[in-house]
Structure formats: C-alpha cells, structure tokens
Amino acid sequence: MAGLAGCLDGIQEHFGLQGVVPIEIENQADETYNLLLEAHDPETGRQTYDESFAVSPQGRTMPQHLDRADQRFRVVRFTVDNEPLETREVSITSETELVIIHITGDDLVIDVRRGDAAGNETVTEDDTPGDDAAGNETENDDADTS
C-alpha cells in the first residue's frame, strides 16, 4: 500500500483527476439571505457550476463541491425582494482546498484556502488589492451591484 501512495498522485495529475473543492457557507446575520453561486471556465466562458441557496440566520450549509480546476467563482447575495445586493468573485485553481463564504448583516466575504505555496485569497469590500501581513494574496474584486 505504501508503495502505491506516491503513484496515485501521479496518475491523478496525468489523467486530470484533480478532485473537488468543498464549499462552506456561514450566515452570521440575523436574517435569511438568498445566494447564487456560479463558476465559469476562464478560457471558454462555459458555466461549470450553478447553485442557489436560502441561508437561514446563524445557519451553516455545505453545498455541492466545486471541481478543483481553473475557474472564476462568483457569489451573488440578494435582498429579501430578490434584488442583487452585492457580488464577489474569486479564482479557483488546482491548489484550492476550501472555499468559505461568510455572510454578515452588512458584508459578504469569500475566503479561498489554497496549498501553502499558492497563498490564500479573500474578497471583501476593501477596494485596495495587496498582500496581507501573513503573505497571502488578497484580491478585492468588489462588483457591488447596489
């Protein structure tokens, strides 16, 4: 068994079996929010993921996983009247290990966890891209639609 452990990674890489990326949604707000989660292939524009959720106050959910492949992942939060409130977008790569979506009453944050060499990415309201103190990439693509 131990001898085959290293071979499995090579086989997965060779055949493009890159795995999945878990998604967690945490609603820390005091009201229910509707979310649209979608992803697109950056080269072709083809949609690779499309899910909608109503997340209860103080609730947590784990939607269907993303494919561990290069894609743009977008989250849209809607008002009670189903009007787009805000949009956040991040990059998903083969190094992405976990995506956590944090909802508060006045903010939507996407935290992308990657392997050590790739760095982590967080999207918030701040419009100033740059590196945070831990040396992780911080990308702020706020496309607020309000």
User: How many of the other CB atoms lie within 10 Å of CB of 104?
Assistant: 13
Pull the structure tokens for residue 16.
């493009």
Contact between 120 and 100 under an 8 Å Cβ cutoff? The reply is: no
pLDDT at site 81: 86
Contact between 39 and 66 under an 8 Å Cβ cutoff? The reply is: yes
pLDDT at site 142: 40
Identity of residue 75: V
pTM above 0.95, yes or no: no
Task: Map residue 76 onto helix, strand or coil.
Answer: strand
| Sign of the Cα pseudo-torsion (76, 24, 67, 126, in order) | positive
pLDDT at site 75: 98
Domain residue ranges of the chain, discontinuous segments joined by +: 19-138
From residue 131, how far is each of 64, 80, 117, 119, 144 by CA, in Å?
Answer: 30, 35, 14, 10, 22
Residue for token digits 């995506």?
Answer: 99
Q: How many Å apart are CA 112 and CA 21, to the nearest integer?
A: 10
pLDDT at site 115: 82
Strand partners, 84: 78
- pLDDT tens figures, 83-113: 999 999 999 999 999 999 999 988 999 999 9
**What would the DSSP string read from start to end of 14-38?**
HTT---EE-EEEEE-SSS-EEEEEE
CATH architecture of 19-138: Sandwich (2.60)
| Positions in the chain whose pLDDT score sits under 70 | 1-18, 116-119, 121-146
Residue for token digits 């392997």?
Answer: 115
